[in-house]
């Protein structure tokens, strides 16, 4: 617990790390692998909130290696005023998706497919028809160059020849880390500085609430890390 590490009970808005939710939560004492940190942060400064992984060979912690998740964009043109469309992936077709669907509605429709399943996509953007919805393949479909979805626009009405288009904006690929760094374990609590060959003690935040939009931009957090950490960490966004 935090009390073991000299961290007092507080809240995100009253002195805790900006990205961390309400205390008390669970963390553990760890040792950072200095050389692994320097490979990612050449100046030796690793920020609070950096995503960490466990190096199997040494038992020390290093920056999470990251992953490349497939991202596909679902966009509507022709300004429809009603109706629905469908998406097909892996031979399975979704139920009707409203012309003005939110990102959450698109995700729900896709997760209902047996070819995708719950927890294997995340969505951002939207709502339709004015804004595209980005679909990121995670979970069992992470790190995979999946087939591009297809869309059926026949159910859209109004507007000027409304059409749904799907494009791949980022092709999926294998994990970028190895030797354990491909699997996220938690977040570094507090800024740390390391020097070559000088391994540094720290704390791993591994259970609690995290405001993901306040995590450091250079901290390595990605969609696959969210999936791997979700059993123990509840992810939220400020103002959501």
Q: Check whether 5 has a pLDDT greater than 70.
A: no
Q: CA-to-CA distance for 62 and 49, rounded, in angstroms?
A: 13
Mean pLDDT across 35-64: 94
User: Is the entire prediction scored with pTM above 0.75?
Assistant: no
pLDDT tens digits, one per residue of 209-236: 999 999 998 999 987 788 889 889 999 8
Does residue 134 register a pLDDT over 60? yes
User: Which residues, other chains included, contact 224 with Cβ-Cβ below 8 Å and sequence gap of 6+?
Assistant: 66, 67, 69, 138, 142, 143, 175, 184
- Residue 174, pLDDT score: 64
Instruction: Express each pLDDT in 107-131 by its tens digit.
Output: 999 999 999 999 899 999 999 999 9
Give the model's pLDDT for residue 23: 54
Tell me: the pLDDT tens digits for 65-105?
877 788 999 999 999 999 999 999 999 999 999 999 999 99
Q: What pLDDT is recorded for position 175?
A: 64
Phi-psi region of 18 (alpha: psi -120 to 50; beta: other; left: phi over 0): alpha
Residue 179 confidence (pLDDT): 85
Query: Over 60: is that where the pLDDT of 24 sits?
Result: no
CATH architecture classification, 2-66+176-236: Beta Barrel (2.40)
* pLDDT, average across residues 149-161: 97
- Please give the residue that has the higher pLDDT: either 133 or 13: 133
pLDDT at 177: 72
């Amino acid at each position: 617990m935090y009390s073991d590490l000299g961290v007092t009970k507080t809240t995100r808005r009253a002195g805790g790390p900006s990205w961390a939710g309400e205390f008390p939560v669970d963390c553990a004492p760890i040792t950072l692998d200095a050389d692994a940190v320097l490979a990612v942060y050449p100046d030796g400064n690793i920020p609070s909130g950096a995503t960490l992984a466990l190096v199997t060979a040494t038992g020390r912690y290093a920056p999470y290696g990251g992953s490349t998740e497939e991202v596909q964009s679902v966009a509507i043109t022709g300004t429809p005023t009603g109706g629905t469309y469908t998406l097909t992936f892996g031979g399975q077709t979704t139920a009707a998706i409203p012309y003005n669907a939110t990102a959450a509605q698109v995700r729900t429709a896709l997760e209902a497919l047996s070819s995708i399943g719950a927890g294997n996509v995340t969505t951002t953007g939207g709502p339709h028809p004015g804004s595209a919805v980005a679909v990121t393949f995670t979970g069992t479909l992470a790190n995979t160059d999946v087939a591009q979805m297809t869309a059926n626009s026949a159910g859209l009405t109004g507007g000027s020849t409304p059409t749904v288009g799907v494009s791949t904006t980022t092709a999926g690929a294998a994990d970028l880390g190895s030797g354990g760094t491909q699997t996220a374990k938690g977040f570094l609590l507090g800024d740390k500085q390391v020097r070559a060959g000088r391994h540094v003690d720290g704390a791993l935040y591994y259970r609690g609430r995290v405001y993901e939009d306040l995590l450091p931009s250079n901290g390595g957090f990605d969609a696959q890390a969210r999936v791997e950490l979700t059993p123990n960490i509840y992810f939220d966004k400020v103002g959501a």
